[in-house]
Amino acid sequence: MRRVITYGTYDLLHWGHIRLLKRAKELGDYLIVGLSTDAFNEGKGKSAYHPYEERKAMLESIRYVDLVIPEESWEQKRKDIVTYQADVFVMGDDWKGSFDDLSDLCEVIYLPRTDGISTTKIKDDLERIGKHY
């Protein structure tokens, strides 16, 4: 069995997230998603619209996702790759080069993001639209 692991906040779930998860799953037989906890997001200076448990439930309902685990620190990725016996580490290409150090444990792949959609864009659009009402 070929195991794939990826990480993210997955806030305001959108088509780009689904497409990334689908392509990640196509790289193997089992997809593990490390989901940023609320505390980890806070430490990064970010906040999610949906709390961790709601984001986790949404991810678990996606047919491409086999397991959701909490991401609590940047450093845990090496441990998770070993613990879950991941063969492939996948991230969006906006992270290109950031995780190359993991290539001693598994294959590292950066997938292209979906053009025209991102959580940041959605938040910006909602803020802009909100100002017109």
Q: Among all residues, which ones are annotated catalytic?
A: 44, 46
| DSSP letter assigned to residue 31 | E
**39 vs 18: CA distance, rounded Å:** 24
**14 vs 48: CA distance, rounded Å:** 14
End-to-end CA distance of the chain: 52
| DSSP letter assigned to residue 115 | T
**Cβ(130)–Cβ(123) below 8 Å:** no
**21 vs 35: CA distance, rounded Å:** 13
